[in-house]
Amino acid sequence: MFYRKYLLPVQFDLTHVAILKQGLHNVIPDVTLITLKSLSNHLLINLIVMKKSFFSGVTALVLTLAFSSPLSGAELDKSLIHAHWFFAAHRQQGQKLMPIQGGPRPVFKGRVQFLMDPIPPRVELSGGGERLILSDGPADANLPQGPFAIETWVRMDGPSERGGIIGAIQHDPDIEAGWILGYREDRFCFGLASEAQAKLTYLESQASFVPGKWYHVVGNYSGSSMELWVDGARVAQSHIQQGKVRYPKHPFYEIGAFHDNDQNFSMKGAIHEILLLNQAMPDEWIQSRFHAKKDYFPEAGPDPVIMEIPNGPFVDWIGPDKVSITWSMDVSMPSRMDLMGPEGEFRQFNRPDSELEHSVIFDQLQKDGEYSFRIYGPSHGDRPQFSSLYKFDTSFYYAPVGVGNPEFGAGAMRLSSMLEQSVSGLLNATGREAGFALILGAGEREREMAHALVRLSRFKVILVDPDSKVVQQARSFLDEVGVYGERVSVHHGEYASLPYGAFFANLVIVHDPGTLNLDKDQSDLSWLKRMIRPAGGTFCVALSQDLPSPVLTQLNESFQEFSVSMRKEAGRGWFMATRGELVGAGQWSHQYGGADNSSCSQDALVHGELGVLWWGDPGPRPMPDRGPRNPAPISVNGRLFIQGDRVLFGLDSYNGTILWNYFSPEMRRANLPRDCSNMVGTHDYLYIAQGRHCIGVEGDTGRRSLQFEAVRPEGSPKVDWGYLATANNTLIGSSVKSGSRYLGDDGQWFEEFHPEDVSRVTSMRLFGLNRHTGEQSWIYEGGAIINSTITIGNQEIYFLESRNPAAMAALTGRLEPEILTDVRLVCLDLESGKRQWERVHDFSDCQFTTYMTFSNDTLIVTGTDKDKRYHSFAFNTSAAAPSATDQNQAPSAVGSLLWEESHEAGKNHHSGHLQHPVVIGDTFYSDQRAFSLRDGKLLRTDLPERRGCGTMSAALKSIFYRHYYHGQWDLESNKRVQFEGLRSGCWLGMIPAGGVLLAPEASAGCSCANAIQTSIGYVPKHLDPSAFSVNNPL
């Protein structure tokens, strides 16, 4: 479905409207008119069509009606705007409001509150003295001198002897000057004094305003006439005032008050928008602006019903100025939505057909703007029903230039069908379409290949050639076809000494095998292989039928550690070598590394000296506030998944390319110390829990191709999806009572011992599904399962659950520690879900937090009490034989307590008492201490100082943490370093995976001293020594 709005400055009567409506349907059969209204001197048309191509016919028809006429008021010429203030939270900067245009910037006085939900965006004024000050004196007042118009959308909450919405006025016995748009008692008014009269004239509406109702109010002054308009109708007029406005020497230019030397009345109500023009508005402008936006404002009346959106909404990019918004409902209903733009512009979508699946496309969006939207449902009696207010930001479009534009790169040359077929086949064979492509050589074939790659994929392309003349020719050609500098670069250099970073290329293409000197017996291609991305990077060599067999043999020998294949086409083919994962690399597939909660990725490569591999987006703007202990990033199979503030990102782990992103306004989870993450990754999917569903997102493309619902008995209330993990092909989930999750939208740290901080999120049941089909394998129900303790190891699932009937019967799944009594340590079989064993133990000292982690047949429960002391309990999970060092040791029973330990937190603030443990091999790291995993022996107390709020993560030979900046403790050398200038967020933000260290930006909102806010990847020196060379020009 495609939406478009036409506003024609033409006067029509009802007969003409009917003719036009019939004409539209005759020309475009599949057009649906949302509204078609004849107003004074203009026609407003809102419509949707089934196919975008239909718009050419629609536009051709409606434009024939656009006779010569003054500009319509709905889309004003910006040169006419003296000042424009839109009172939305995103316009706030400190104690000032950023105008959309003009000025000055209002300065807040008193406790000014900006609200977005329920709509409209507005500033709320309580009548207690708060206001917005536009000027402290005449020098910076910037007031209109001659004709002007002042327009506002306002809601009054009560009458007052006098009141001002906006004005610069003096009204006392000695002087009357300035102007005011405001109210007297319960009636709107517009007052003004001109230099010719030196006395104020007040226009007043005859009707009283209704408290709680939104009004469109305009004060109009032409230099010879004053007018007051309310809701598109002129309600008062005067011709007394003439000429320029007379101003007092020291005007009080303010919003939300009637203020002069003797009087000070503050407004009680709300203001959505104020527009000040440097000319009077024609009648038709006022009417069109009122009608264009009036449907956005809620009617005064009963409180609305907030409608749940069962699935979605999702906002997907179609282009830089176009999005698709999709959602689905449990019952059929029409598609109705309001969209508010960054400058207060309003669109409405209404498709009357009832349906379960809904899709709306909005185009012509502003660049770098924040949009808000709301979805409407049928009314509940006299109560309107609509969703929460959602938002998306067009700043976060990261696709390369030209993607989605069929004309980009067309230039003077079209692709030949043979070339297009060849490149398409190559892209299909490699399975890659985004990132960086490196082409060795810049001759005619190479430059045509680069052109084709840009046209058919999302690659950024680099060509390299040692011949400067060839380089210049390539640049000229690619500039002529319109892609050079945007998507393609051509560099001059020798192949064997290229300065590019390790692992950056997703695709390397060689058209001429002679480029590689493969005719030599010992051609060393290590310089080439270091640039190919692990986990899927592909090297391609064009083959001809007369290619000497020794060359092919040399290719196979040079790339024997790669996966080699041949692709043949008519007259030619491709030798293809795909790089696998680095040997020794680990994955960060779950919140704490793996489903064992060890906070260790098992990566054997990330250690020693690290250097920058890549850096860039996403930056801090799309991220949530750093404080609420947000979900960790996930990295599997060379992909990095980052959960921003209701926006999800998929990146290439090795070069930082943003492969995809989409907005998901209901996707949010916080306070991970008392809950579990909502993301896990596999080699092919990212699984993310949102509401009552788990969604399978294809890692390479971001396509949402799987969806499963949290398990519940038939006929029982719907539940949210809580815990999430994968093991083999099983997706393990849990059912949580709706509304139990933490959101952390108010900057909470969840640091103190208060119920709103420490209450645990618990699940009603666990279940196992096939992760591809959703087929149910098993269900377990036994008590209130504490989500932060669910752990998987050795084909078993472990967790703590409360059997207290009060905990199980509670209306919410978010429960205070005091109610979580009669706690059992439970073990289930992963394949069947059957209970294997359980143990009763007193874990009541785990009051602030309760964690569980598994390694080497050992399960450790740890947490802190309200006095900030750590308590750890280690349990055996298998019938252990005597250890090699003590043959006299008796075997430990399954579920038996191996050891326990308590100590005071090394730091009792900034998360010192909330630290999640790390397990590496047989060593358990907790707080500032390290213990032997099996017997609890204290090994060391000198863990690195950690000033910041974050918790630790680890590879096999390094531990990462936040001190003042990103910190690394190399376990082999015992060296501790910081990467100055960068820091993580307030929970887990640095993950070693795939042989590299990944640290997405997570410090948004922080006031600590970190100068650089960026996402970054680090590479170990032993994997890429050239990156550390002082001779490297990069």
CATH at 505? 3.40.50.150
Mean predicted lDDT score pLDDT of the chain: 89
Q: Is 301 exposed, middle or buried (0-12, 13-18, 19+ CB in 10 A)?
A: exposed
Helix (H, G, I), strand (E, B) or coil at 484: strand
Segment (H or E) for 472? helix 468-480
> What backbone torsions phi and psi does residue 18 show, to the nearest 5 degrees?
-65, -40
**313 and 292 in a common domain:** no
Final residue belonging to a domain, choices 13, 29, 63? 63
Nearest CA to 165 among 96, 238, 84, 267? Answer: 267
CATH at 904: 2.130.10.10
> Look-up: residue for tokens 């078993």?
796
pLDDT at 551: 80
Residue with more model confidence, 151 or 14? 151
**290 and 311 in a common domain:** no
CATH at 373: 2.60.40.10
**451 and 371 in a common domain:** no
Indicate the range of 36-45, 613-622, 977-986 predicted with least confidence: 36-45
Cβ atoms of 958 and 970 closer than 8 Å: yes
Is residue 249 pLDDT above 90, yes or no? no
What's the CA gap between 584 and 575, in Å, rounded?
27
pLDDT in tens, 545-556: 666 678 888 888
**646 and 541 in a common domain:** no
- The span from the first CA to the last CA of the chain, in angstroms, equals 47
**925 and 808 in a common domain:** yes
What's the CA gap between 344 and 339, in Å, rounded?
10
Q: How large is the average pLDDT for residues 549-577? A: 84
Q: Tell me the pairing of strands 835-840 and 823-829.
A: antiparallel
User: Total structural domains in the chain?
Assistant: 5
Domain span holding position 497? 417-578
What's the CA gap between 485 and 31, in Å, rounded?
41
Please, which pLDDT band fits residue 45 given cuts at 50, 70 and 90?
low
> Is 668 a member of any domain?
yes
**Distances 739 to 187, 630, 692 between C-alpha atoms, Å:** 43, 17, 10
Cβ atoms of 551 and 513 closer than 8 Å: yes
> Look-up: residue for tokens 């609509």?
386
- The DSSP letter of residue 557 is H
> Is 594 a member of any domain?
no
What's the CA gap between 430 and 934, in Å, rounded?
47
Nearest CA to 247 among 351, 143, 397? Answer: 143
What's the CA gap between 505 and 435, in Å, rounded?
7
Is residue 174 pLDDT above 70, yes or no? yes
**359 and 242 in a common domain:** no
CA 992 to chain centre: 23
> Is 787 a member of any domain?
yes
Please, which pLDDT band fits residue 419 given cuts at 50, 70 and 90?
confident
Q: Within 13 A of 255's CA, how many CA atoms are on the CB side? A: 35
pLDDT at 16: 43
Final residue belonging to a domain, choices 340, 364, 396? 396
**220 and 99 in a common domain:** yes
User: Rg of the chain's alpha carbons, rounded to an integer?
Assistant: 33
The amino acid at residue 513 is: P
Crossing angle between the packed helical segments 468-480 and 444-456, to the nearest 10 degrees? 40
**43 and 138 in a common domain:** no
pLDDT at 172: 87
Cβ atoms of 466 and 440 closer than 8 Å: no
> What backbone torsions phi and psi does residue 551 show, to the nearest 5 degrees?
-65, -45
Q: Which two structure tokens, joined as six digits, stand for 13?
A: 């009567």
**What's the whole-model pTM score?**
0.87
Q: How large is the average pLDDT for residues 394-414? A: 79
> Look-up: residue for tokens 């994955």?
587
Residue with more model confidence, 1028 or 313? 313
* Buried-state track 477-512, b at ≥16 Cβ within 10 A, e below 16: bbeebbbbebbbebbeeebeebebbbbbbbbbbbbe
Cβ atoms of 277 and 141 closer than 8 Å: no
CATH at 205: 2.60.120.200
pLDDT in tens, 776-798: 999 999 999 999 999 999 999 99
> Is 377 a member of any domain?
yes
Crossing angle between the packed helical segments 417-430 and 444-456, to the nearest 10 degrees? 70
> Is 600 a member of any domain?
no
> Is 605 a member of any domain?
no
**59 and 89 in a common domain:** no
**768 and 747 in a common domain:** yes
Cβ atoms of 674 and 662 closer than 8 Å: no
What's the CA gap between 720 and 735, in Å, rounded?
6
**794 and 929 in a common domain:** yes
Q: For Cα atoms 375, 380, 386, give the angle at the middle one, nearest 5 degrees.
A: 15
HEC readout, 781-795: CCCEEEHHHCEEECC
What's the CA gap between 652 and 503, in Å, rounded?
10
Nearest CA to 463 among 427, 491, 505? Answer: 491
> Is 1031 a member of any domain?
no
Secondary structure (DSSP) of 881-940: PPPTT-TTPPPBPTT-EEEEEEEE-S--STTTTTPPPEEETTEEEETTEEEETTT--EEE
pLDDT in tens, 254-287: 999 999 988 899 999 999 999 999 999 999 999 9
What's the CA gap between 23 and 33, in Å, rounded?
12
Final residue belonging to a domain, choices 35, 63, 91? 63
Is residue 39 pLDDT above 50, yes or no? no
**309 and 291 in a common domain:** no
pLDDT in tens, 994-1015: 999 999 999 998 877 777 899 9
The amino acid at residue 160 is: S
- The count of other CB atoms within 10 Å of the CB of residue 539 is 27
> Is 659 a member of any domain?
no
